[in-house]
Amino acid sequence: MKVANQCPLQSNANQQLPSNFGRIVTGIELESLEPSLESTLKQLLFKHSILVFRGGASVSPRTQLALTRVFDASAPGFYGHDNNNNNNFNFNKKSVLHPDLKTIPAVPQVQLIGNGFVEEHEGLANVNLVHPHHKTFHRDVVSEDDEERGYTRFYRWHIDAALYDLSPPVATTLHAIKVPKDKWQTVRYDDGTGDELKVPLGATAFISGAQAFSILPPHHKSLAVRTRVTYAPHPYVWMSPAKSLPTGLGLYSDSLELPLDALPPFTEEKMKTLPLCWKNPETGELHLQVHPSAIYKLTIDPSPSPKEGDLYSEGATLTSLPEIRALIYSLQRPAIAPQYVYAHDWEEGDFVVFHNRGVLHSITGAFRKDQVRMFHQCNLASGSDPEGPDQEDVERFC
């Protein structure tokens, strides 16, 4: 029987990662995964958040779909944004997701993403892929001179999820088909802190939601376990005119979001309200998991045992976007400090699985038009929403 060997991630971009964050897995063949290893891989993913299978072996789209299913038996089987639904509006042309994804015809749960012109691939023909550039989403951008010198940004910190009607995927898989190499770039936070992080070209950046929660001061932990997040209807259409902060961690409150009556049809029953903290099914840890750009409302329960310094100890419903965003930013910003970010240096053939309910991630970097990059991405809408803090958690942190 094949054995799944695993060792800690090695990051040339960051030598200060939490010791349990991410694992390189060897000793198994993904195209012929033995069923006896499935539970082992699930445990590894929930414990370590990121699994990297490196070795250059090709993984077909159908196998990628099957591997993605391994991590969530409840998944109905359609893509996390339900692109196979004729009434789906995550692929509306106004959506901020619309330019980024090209569906593999034979396996619509798998998307082709990347950069450059692709003449033919897996049933797609004459496709122009566009690597998301921060200049299309950020309000204030890196100057052309600084970009020439290698400076870039985190594009958008997020969770892979429709956040309307559908439950967030448990896992996302990424398979690197073609990876151009070039000079490293420097992510600049541009928020007055002076923070920077050197990253490989096109690195995917990850942070641990468990770490994000664990480093919060007590009054923020108390707030986090008492808070639920309601997301905007059709959030990727709603947010489309708005612009991002320079850290990629949420939006400016410039009142640019589309009014609700300008959105595609929606019902309040399908709007998603999720806990601010999601409970890890393997470790029991709480992960601070919120998509900062899509928030519409916060509901905060009263503290069961108020302490000095508690925020909203009597409970509250927050609907002011400036107030909501400032509060969530204060919770999340510590976790994207350079020492907590893993920037994956992609190699052709890499197959990466990340716990989408346990991490936030962001695209980085900028490619030239002639640099062709091709990845297969897959995630599946879950059959159930993530669980939040239980009564024991509330009593512990409040």
Structural domains present in the chain? 5-209+338-379 (3.60.130), 215-334+388-397 (no CATH)
Looking at the predicted structure, is the pLDDT value of residue 4 above 90? no
Tokens of 52: 């990297």
pLDDT digits (tens, 9 = 90+) for 335-372: 999 999 999 999 999 999 999 999 999 999 999 999 99
Position 272 scores a pLDDT of: 98
Instruction: Identify the band that residue 99 occupies on the pLDDT scale cut at 50, 70 and 90.
Output: low
Tokens of 160: 């892979």
Supply the mean pLDDT for the chain: 93
Position 54 scores a pLDDT of: 87
What is the Cα–Cα distance from 87 to 85, expressed in whole angstroms?
A: 5
Tokens of 336: 């994207």
Task: List CB contacts of 271: < 8 A, sequence separation 6 or more.
Answer: 164, 230, 231, 232, 233, 296
Tokens of 361: 């991630």
Q: Is the pTM of this model over 0.85?
A: yes
| Phi/psi of residue 241, nearest 5 degrees | -80, -15
> What single-letter amino acid sits at 375?
F
Looking at the predicted structure, is the pLDDT value of residue 86 above 60? no
Query: What's the chain's Rg over C-alpha atoms?
Result: 20
pLDDT digits (tens, 9 = 90+) for 129-183: 999 999 999 999 999 999 999 999 999 999 999 999 999 999 999 999 999 999 9
Tokens of 382: 């879950």
Task: List CB contacts of 39: < 8 A, sequence separation 6 or more.
Answer: none
Tokens of 302: 């009263």
Looking at the predicted structure, is the pLDDT value of residue 1 above 80? no
pLDDT digits (tens, 9 = 90+) for 190-228: 999 999 999 999 999 999 999 999 999 999 999 999 999
Could you give the angle at the alpha carbon of 199 between the alpha carbons of 169 and 184, nearest 5°?
Answer: 135
Counting residues of the chain whose pLDDT is more than 90, the rounded percentage is 84
Instruction: Identify the band that residue 88 occupies on the pLDDT scale cut at 50, 70 and 90.
Output: very low
Instruction: Identify the band that residue 82 occupies on the pLDDT scale cut at 50, 70 and 90.
Output: low
Looking at the predicted structure, is the pLDDT value of residue 98 above 70? no
Position 90 scores a pLDDT of: 46
- 3 state SS for the chain: CCCCEEEECCCCCCCCCCCCCCEEEECCCHHHCCHHHHHHHHHHHHHHCEEEECCCCCCCHHHHHHHHHHCCCCCCCCECCCCCCCCCCCCCCCCCCHHHCEECCCCCCEEEEEEEEEEEECCEEEEEECCCCHHHCECCCCCHHHHHCCEECECCCECCCCCECCECCCEEEEEEEECCCCCCEEEECCCCCCCEEEECCCCEEEEEHHHHHHCCCHHHHHHHHCEEEEECCCHHHHCCCCCECCCCCCECCCCCCCCHHHCCCCCHHHECEEECEEECCCCCCEEECCCCCCEEEEEECCCCCCCCCCCCCCCEEECCHHHHHHHHHHHHHHHHCHHHCEEECCCCCCEEEEECCCEEEEEECCCCCCCCEEEEEEEECECCCCCCCCHHHHHHHC
Query: What is the length of the chain?
Result: 398
